Amino acid sequence: MFHTHTSTTTASSCPRAASHPRPPPPQAHLQANFPAMESKRDKDQDADCEKITAVLLKGRTGEFDLESILFLKLRGLGIHDLGCIGECANLEKLDLSGNNITNLACLTSLRLLSVLNLSANRISNLEPLRSCDSLQNLNVAGNIISSIESFHCLQSLRKLENIRFKDNTYNYTNPVCRNTSYRTIVLEMFSNIKVLDGERVVGRGSELYQLCKDIDDTIKAGLYKNGQLVERPDCKPWVEDSYWEIKRSNNAIIEEAYKQFNDVLHECRLLNNRATHVISQTERSMSLKKQPKQYAI
Q: Give the contacts of 73 (CB within 8 A, at least 6 positions apart).
A: 60, 95
Return mean pLDDT, the chain.
Answer: 79
pLDDT of 250:
58
The gap from C-alpha 142 to its chain's centroid, in whole angstroms, comes to 18
3-class SS of residue 81: strand
- What confidence tier does 229 reach under pLDDT thresholds 50, 70, 90? low
Residue 295 pLDDT > 60: no
User: What is each CA distance from 37 to 29, 79, 90, in whole angstroms?
Assistant: 12, 24, 38
pLDDT of 206:
60
The C-alpha atoms of residue 201 and residue 210 are separated, in whole angstroms, by 8
Residues 65-97: tens digit of each pLDDT = 999 999 999 999 999 999 999 999 999 999 999
Which tops the pLDDT comparison, 79 or 252? 79
Quote the percentage of the chain above a pLDDT of 70.
66
Residue 37 pLDDT > 50: no
Residues 166-203: tens digit of each pLDDT = 998 899 999 999 998 999 999 999 988 999 998 888 76
- What confidence tier does 40 reach under pLDDT thresholds 50, 70, 90? very low
